[in-house]
Structure 1
Amino acid sequence: MGQVKSAGSEFLTGLRLLGRGFARYGRSPKLLLLGAIPAVITCALFVVGWAFLIIYIDEVAAAATWFAHDWSDGWRRLVEFGAGAGILVVAALISVLTFTAITLLIGDPFYEVISEKIEDGLGGTPGAVNLPWYRTLWPNLVDSIRLIALGIAVAIPMFLLGFVPIVGQTVVPVLNAIVGGWLIAVELTGIPFNRRGLRLRDRRKILRAHRSLALGFGIPVFLVLLVPVAAIIVVPAAVSGATLLTRRVLGLNIGEEPASAPHAVAR
């Protein structure tokens, strides 16, 4: 029972960190404009892609269920409906991950400024490795590709489960939000972790020790990012919140409570 309560408390703390990220980001009109530019560019591309998918979802679902074309009308429609739902669920997961990755890559210099300003206001960045953004672009790209590949690998069984009536329309979306929330938390904390010279394996290890905290932060971000226009504000605000999340899991001051002992990271 104590572990459940602790996990619930950590989850709510993660949610509060996201809210504080929104509050800090929204205090500066310059940061609002700065953070919106790359998100607007990516959002325009994804709106077009989703418009085509929704328009042709019936044709895509029918092609995916070619094996059922000779079935009775009722069973064929049921399988096509499940396939269509599964395709949209998988597309949502992949879209959110790729949207975040592309936006962070396009806006790396912008979001680095936002994240650094947050840390400067909380006492700076202990252990910072000062490298120009173009020196970190390739490592960040590699890490993003690895996360997207992981998301696609997880999406395959979810797509198959989408064919199962009821389960595909109830359980799969919940699993989708949990997996997507975790991957989003790992993705967004990349900027503050990379500033310290810590790569993907480091932040996965550290966030794994604070899984409920990371999910409390990541799941609401994932859900809100399903609304394309909202992503324009959500991504830069989430970068701000991810900076607070990073400081929290590293045992640093976040302007709310005494810091706990920092984690040692094997390098």
Structure 2
Amino acid sequence: MVDGVRYLGRGIAWTARRPAQWAFGLVPALLALLLFGGLLTWLGFQVGDLVRWMTPFADDWASGVREALRLTAGIAVFGAALFVSLLLFTTVTLIIGEPFYEALAARVEDSVGGAPPEPDEPFWRGLGRSVRDALVLGVAALAFGVLFFALGFIPVVGQTVVPVVALVVSGYFLTGELTGIAMERREIRRKERFALLRTRRPAVLGFGTATAALFLIPLGAVLFMPGAVAGATLMARDLCAADTPPAPKVA
């Protein structure tokens, strides 16, 4: 897992040394932040009413038990929404910023040896595939979100173990999305991409979990997105060594 964290660190360091590239990569993330930040803020104000609607059977319970149940349910609802948002934030950001992040990934690869040529494919076909992949990820995110929501009601475990597992799972999917930029250039599609990621599961989980943790920091998903794209590009480059130009030799 340490190797995965190192990839993230290398990506963040790459953007830190190139402030213009870091700022270039902020634009799509800021747009996605406005969307998801607004939705989560709205949910935060509505979650009390939503939980009361979901638990009418508790209306006649003793007030202490009723409030404890609804507090747990509220945490579970918001936690599940945060999990889904974390996954979909990256997907939506990559769709919005596809030209931005393709250019950023190409510059990362050029700085360490060069990238394969772009596939001869119309822009709209690639965008359509990205949207289809986003829908697949969205369904998976909702399924896991419902599962983690249900597990959140388990005393103690639901408030300790489940959030950690959710962070690791979201990190795995985040890595799949972020490495997709460099792998699509090599014409490695979603199914083959995840099969390739499974060959380096510890590094993938290390990278993804560290990225997901940074994204939970306020504004972290915006500030660290360019570095995460750079780090995922470096990881994808190593995973696809057979399709990658060799790095230049240092004299």
1:139 to 114, 129, 137: 129
Are 1:208 and 2:237 an aligned pair?
no
Residue 106 of structure 2 corresponds to residue 116 of structure 1:
yes
Alignment partner, residue 34 of structure 1: 24
Render the CA deviation track for 1:194-232: whole Å, top value 9, x for unaligned. 111111101110101111111110111112212342222
1:185 corresponds to 2:175: yes
- The equivalent position to 1:157 in structure 2, one of 112, 135, 147, is 147
Which 10-residue stretch deviates more, 48-57 or 123-132? 123-132
Q: CA deviation at 1:69?
A: 2.0
> Deviation of residue 239 (structure 1)?
0.7
For structure 2, the 5+ residue unaligned runs are none
Question: Is the CA contact (8 Å cut-off) linking 1:82 and 1:168 kept in structure 2?
Answer: no
**Gaps (5+ residues) in structure 1?**
1-10, 256-267
Within-5 A mapping of 1:16-165: 16-126=6-116, 128-131=118-121, 133-165=123-155
TM-score, normalization by structure 2: 0.91
Residue 173 of structure 1 pairs with residue 184 of structure 2: no
Q: Which amino acid aligns with 2:34?
A: A
d(CA) in 1 for partners of 2:121 and 2:12? Answer: 27
Q: Does 1:221 align with 2:211?
A: yes
| C-alpha distance in structure 1 between counterparts of 2:8 and 2:246, whole Å | 12
AA at the equivalent of 2:155:
P
- 1:98 to 1:64, Cα distance in 2 relative to 1, 3 A: same
Alpha-carbon deviation of 1:63? 1.9
1:40 maps to a residue whose letter is L
- After superposition, the CA RMSD in angstroms is 1.9
Q: Which amino acid aligns with 1:93?
A: F
Structure having greater relative contact order (Cα 8 Å, sep ≥ 6): 2
Write the deviation string for residues 135-162 of structure 1: whole angstroms up to 9, x where unpaired. 3111011112111211111111111111
Gap change, CA 1:76 and 1:114, over 3 Å in 2: same
Q: Give every structure 1 segment of 4 or more consecutive aligned residues whose post-TM-superposition deviation is greater than 3 Å.
A: 130-135, 251-255
Aligned residues: 246
Q: How many Å separate the matches in 1 of 2:133 and 2:10?
A: 26
CA contact (8 A) 1:14 1:214 kept: yes
Per the normalisation by structure 1, the TM-score is 0.86
